[in-house]
Structure 1
Amino acid sequence: MIRLLACGALATVQDRGRLGALRWGVGVAGAMDAPALAGGNLLVGNPDDAAGIEIQVLPLEARFESEAVFAVTGADCTAVLDGVPVLPWTVARARAGATLRLDRPAAFRPWGARTYLCVAGGIDVPVVLGSRATQLRGAIGGLEGRSLQAGDALPLGRPAGDPPPPGTGLVPPVLALPLAVGGVPALRVLPAAEHDRYTTDSLAAFWGEPWRVTPQSDRYGFRLAGSTLVPLAPMELRSHGIVPGVIQVPHGGQPIIQMCDAQPSGGYPKIGTVIEADLWRLAQAPIGARIRFVETDWDGALAARDAIDGWLEAARRDLSCLRPRSAA
């Protein structure tokens, strides 16, 4: 069991998401940075569907009530276990009673917004509609469907096997798979249904200028600020199905990118869709950060997915070589 001693706002229990529930009007939820959670689960020997803690606001302080193996992935933070620094993206072991504190980095980091704490056995909250993920809107899953707070006790599942030795680490995807345009982090985007119904100048701005992540951004959607996107003619659409990654343009002309907790339907025009393989990049964009869009096609989206899958498979293969033979 883990007991939270201090906890910032909007920390939640998340797994890889409530896949297949959109048909019931329930959002996907799950980790905003899926590779970070997947990498953490690999490091501690968890199955792919194990749940961890997604941390948006630091600090977080937790006490391990029993001996445990853990890893901290995602955005950079200062991790200290009983006064001893813990390396990111690395296997670590905690004794019973040990206290882990995750805090803001000592030096300013222009990138990284969400940190993940994965523990061998996973966070063992009830499965709801096939997932342990927290969907705050509707209070579904996680711990009572809510954000975590100081005093919460989180049960751990039974470890699946022996993890790699402490000190074993992974190269995070932000280093292994960088993507930027002119020094600005970039996202690959597929043109969507209403893409060609915007003016030439608007499309040039959409693809050619940076966009700023505004404070009105969260797990539901990222609101951006930049040049106003103007349609060739006013558009009124009926609500229809949408998925995470869809870029909608409200009447004000400033785009909104739907994220993990987005509703399953909406009626704003769609100018593009951030490919699934790049949503983790957007999830790690802090408030005030600038991003760029790069146009891609179906083959490019599949190639990007293959690159992420390749990173995960290489990590899985390399870590399996370091586990005890009985657990390999």
Structure 2
Amino acid sequence: MHRESGTREQTSSIRMIRAGILTTVQDLGRHGSRHLGVAQAGALDRYSLMLANKLLGNSIDSAGLEILVGPVEIEFERDTWFVLCGANFAAHLDHISISKAWRHFARAGQRLILQGAQKEARCYLAVDGGICVGLVLGSRSTDLQAQFGGFDGRALKKGDRLPIGSPRNLRSRVGVQQRMWTPEVRAIRGPEFTQFDLPTQKRFWQQAWQVTSQSNRMGFRLQGETLERGGHSQLLSHAVLPGVIQVPPNGQPIVLLADCQTTGGYPRIATVIEADLWKVAQTPIGGHFCFIEVDHDAAKIASKKWQRELNRLDGVIHA
């Protein structure tokens, strides 16, 4: 398919006809400001946003939309190439069904309609040129807790018009096979792992944990057999990062995510490796997963493999 110029003036924006629930502008997050108490924010499933941007030839940290609950309807106000990655939402361009992890072309005036996810939880929309809201502390991500970044620091609403960058000279559809979600999430032992007795350690690794409705972008609260720490003294506050698994006094773990606080005082039983954090983010409310123990070397190997998968796309994005 070839790009053809429209007969009317091209406006570099997309317009939200229906915004769904908790649709936000996200990139890869804010870095270098945690010492100021600023959360990372950014896409919870970083891999899916990076993949979508790769397929468009965008900068890998270009901003896109993170979409949680449909229906969402978006009008393209200029001829636009776009990609959907992540959760498999039922998607139509006007009345034509389209698939995820493929580069699609929309003419000015066409509308993308997304219904609910068929499985998994979050869908990511990237457009050629990226979404060009203002930078705040080096990122376009929305921090819902602090209410800054993204589009006025909030979830999108009907009628919002988002500026997008200059169109890219792309000429054909191209796609890839996206990762398959599995209920096994790899993690390494945390600093306080040995403060839990052996039966508790086994319960942590051996059971399936359910994502509860008290989960959000700060962290996923899990439900399962109680994890008991015993008579250890209270911990001093310490730094925490996305992926850390804390165990509060009720014994039900919390997996911290992109909008998490910068410090905490709960014991850290484990940490999800970066290469698998997307699996947590894509688990829907009520869904289950289990933790698989790996060591630091395995975590490094998984991270390198993840980067190689993305780098292999460089040879196809300009097709």
C-alpha displacement of 1:163: 3.1
Equivalenced residues, count: 307
Question: Does residue 307 of the first structure (1) align with residue 302 of the second (2)?
Answer: no
Alignment correspondent of 1:279? 277
What code does the residue aligned with 2:108 have?
A: A
Q: What is the CA–CA distance in structure 1 between the aligned matches of 2:57 and 2:191, rounded to whole Å?
A: 42
C-alpha displacement of 1:276: 1.2
Alignment correspondent of 1:55? 67
Please tell me whether the aligned partners of residues 36 and 116 of structure 1 are also in contact (alpha carbons under 8 angstroms). yes
- Equivalent residues in 2 for 1:1-328, closer than 5 Å: 1-105=13-117, 109=118, 111-159=119-167, 161-163=168-170, 165-166=172-173, 168-174=174-180, 180=182, 185-320=183-318, 322=319
Q: What is the CA–CA distance in structure 2 between the aligned matches of 1:215 and 1:129, rounded to whole Å?
A: 31
C-alpha displacement of 1:311: 0.8
Q: What is the CA–CA distance in structure 2 between the aligned matches of 1:33 and 1:202, rounded to whole Å?
A: 29
Q: What is the CA–CA distance in structure 1 between the aligned matches of 2:207 and 2:221, rounded to whole Å?
A: 16
C-alpha displacement of 1:164: 5.5
SS state at 1:59 partner: strand
C-alpha displacement of 1:90: 0.5
SS state at 1:308 partner: helix
Length-normalised TM-score, structure 2: 0.94
SS state at 1:303 partner: helix
CA RMSD after TM alignment: 1.2
Please tell me whether the aligned partners of residues 202 and 230 of structure 1 are also in contact (alpha carbons under 8 angstroms). yes
Deviations 1:151-170 (CA, angstroms, capped at 9, x unpaired): 100010113x423512x101
C-alpha displacement of 1:139: 1.0
C-alpha displacement of 1:234: 3.7
C-alpha displacement of 1:173: 2.1
Please tell me whether the aligned partners of residues 101 and 175 of structure 2 are also in contact (alpha carbons under 8 angstroms). yes
Q: What is the CA–CA distance in structure 2 between the aligned matches of 1:78 and 1:58, rounded to whole Å?
A: 10
Q: What is the CA–CA distance in structure 2 between the aligned matches of 1:152 and 1:206, rounded to whole Å?
A: 44
- The answer for unaligned runs of 5 or more in structure 2 is 1-12
Q: What is the CA–CA distance in structure 1 between the aligned matches of 2:50 and 2:193, rounded to whole Å?
A: 33
SS state at 1:58 partner: strand
The sequence identity of aligned pairs, in percent, is: 43
What code does the residue aligned with 1:197 have?
A: Q
Please tell me whether the aligned partners of residues 26 and 141 of structure 2 are also in contact (alpha carbons under 8 angstroms). yes
SS state at 1:148 partner: coil
Q: What is the CA–CA distance in structure 2 between the aligned matches of 1:238 and 1:162, rounded to whole Å?
A: 54
Q: What is the CA–CA distance in structure 2 between the aligned matches of 1:223 and 1:164, rounded to whole Å?
A: 44
SS state at 1:117 partner: strand
Deviations 1:46-85 (CA, angstroms, capped at 9, x unpaired): 1112100000111100111111111111100111111111
Q: What is the CA–CA distance in structure 1 between the aligned matches of 2:138 and 2:54, rounded to whole Å?
A: 21
Deviations 1:90-140 (CA, angstroms, capped at 9, x unpaired): 1111111111101125xxx4x410001110011110011010011111112
Please tell me whether the aligned partners of residues 64 and 97 of structure 1 are also in contact (alpha carbons under 8 angstroms). yes
Alignment correspondent of 2:4? none
Please tell me whether the aligned partners of residues 56 and 317 of structure 2 are also in contact (alpha carbons under 8 angstroms). no
SS state at 1:319 partner: coil
Q: What is the CA–CA distance in structure 1 between the aligned matches of 2:35 and 2:60, rounded to whole Å?
A: 23
